[in-house]
Homo-oligomer: A and B are copies of this chain.
């Protein structure tokens, strides 16, 4: 869902998908809106994700300047992920996604076939 975008007309909608189109990215961004979270905490909010994929999605978000990774070498190693200013600018979009999603019934209940 990332390098495969060609975006021939440099469509802004497509460009947005290049950033947040990953399998778990919208949820991660959404979880980080309120406050920074640790790696383990993020994993707990997404029980179906593996550590590998969580790491990978976070690295991509970091590369893309959406998320900032902070390492604290404390009593126990602590790694926190925080939204950057760019990431925070996604707030209206995330809210629009949340609002639209709330108006839709869960897909399984909505099947027309």
Contact = CB atoms under 8 A, between A and B. Distances in A.
Interface in A15-60: 15-19, 21, 23, 26-27, 30, 45-48
A75 interface: no
Contacts of A64: 107, 110
Interface in A63-81: 63-65
Interface string A79-113: 00000001001101110111111111011001111
A62 to B, nearest CB: 9
Contact of A97 (B6, B13, B63, B103): B13
Contacts of A13: 26-27, 30, 94, 97-98, 101
B106 A10 contact: yes
Interface of A: 1, 4, 6-19, 21, 23, 26-27, 30, 45-48, 63-65, 86, 89-90, 92-94, 96-104, 106-107, 110-113
Nearest first, the 3 A-B pairs at minimum CB distance are A12-B101, A15-B101, A16-B101
Given A13-B101, A64-B110, 12 more contacts: A4-B23, A6-B48, A12-B101, A14-B101, A15-B107, A17-B26, A19-B104, A64-B107, A65-B110, A89-B100, A89-B103, A92-B100
